[in-house]
Amino acid sequence: MDPLEACLNAGDWDGLAARCEQAELMAASSGKTTSPEICSALLAVYLLKRDLVSAKFLWKRMPASYQGMKDMSQLWEIGQALWKKDFRSVHVKLRVRPNWPQHVQPIMKALLDSVRREVVTLVSHSYSRISASMLAGMLGVDDATAACNELGWTLENDFVQPRKVCSEAVSLWMENKKRLLTLTNYISALEN
């Protein structure tokens, strides 16, 4: 079994990224161009890991012929929507292409799940009430009722009352926010 395929089947996204990066370096050192499959898999993994800066640089160093490919351009459109935190557009762009090539299909499924988890966490911490249609758009579903039932959120008169969901990402974000506040206070004290 191909090492890339083994990482893909195991869901080892870090390993897959490392192997794709290694393949890209090997191709560059021998004066060749990396295959479009490697580039698209690496771009998809960067999006999944939210390493949008690396995704952008990969896009910029990619040959123009690869950038013109349908799969690659659709991946980059998703990356741009993630950069803007436009979750509705991310879901629309993922729906436009339900059948990704086999070498990126599992990554895109994991990306969809990851975006949904991120939206649930953000909504639960940011809203005390949100319209069901807005929530449905952010989650990429037609009707928010099933999602509300699954999450234990209250749905009344077309408005959702989310409950807080704790996750590592939110905990890290809150910790970083506290550190930034401490740093700001420290710098303010030094300036005064």
Average pLDDT across the chain, whole number: 86
- Distance from C-alpha of 45 to C-alpha of 184, rounded to nearest angstrom: 34
pLDDT of residue 175: 66
pLDDT tens track for 161-187: 888 766 655 455 556 667 777 888 778
Is 154 strand, coil or helix?
strand
The answer to whether residue 51 is domain-embedded is: yes
Residues above pLDDT 70, as percent of the chain: 91
pLDDT of residue 1: 43
| CA atoms of 93 and 9, how far apart (whole Å) | 24
Burial level of 141, CB count in 10 A (0-12/13-18/19+)?
middle
Predicted confidence at residue 55, as pLDDT, reads 95
* pLDDT tens, residue by residue, 99-135: 888 888 899 989 988 898 888 888 888 888 999 899 9
In the chain, the number of structural domains is 1
Whether 47 shows a pLDDT value over 80: the answer reads yes
Instruction: Tell whether 167 is covered by a domain.
Output: no
Q: Is there a domain that residue 133 lies in?
A: no
Q: How many residues does the chain have?
A: 192
Highest mean pLDDT among 7-11, 76-80, 161-165: 76-80
Which tokens is 156 given? 């009344």
With respect to residue 132, please indicate whether it lies within any of the assigned structural domains: no
Most confident listed range (92-96, 102-106, 187-191)? 102-106
3-state secondary structure of 76: helix
157 sits in the region (left: phi over 0; alpha: psi -120 to 50; else beta) called: left
The mean pLDDT value for 60-76 works out to 93
Range of 42's domain?
1-126
Instruction: Kindly tell me the sign of the dihedral angle through the C-alpha atoms of 159, 163, 164, 168.
Output: negative
Residue 83, in any domain of the structure: yes
Looking at the domain assignment, is residue 153 inside a domain? no
- If pLDDT is split at 50, 70 and 90, which confidence band does 8 have? confident
- Is 90 exceeded by the pLDDT of residue 42? yes
| CA gap 21, 11 in Å, rounded | 17
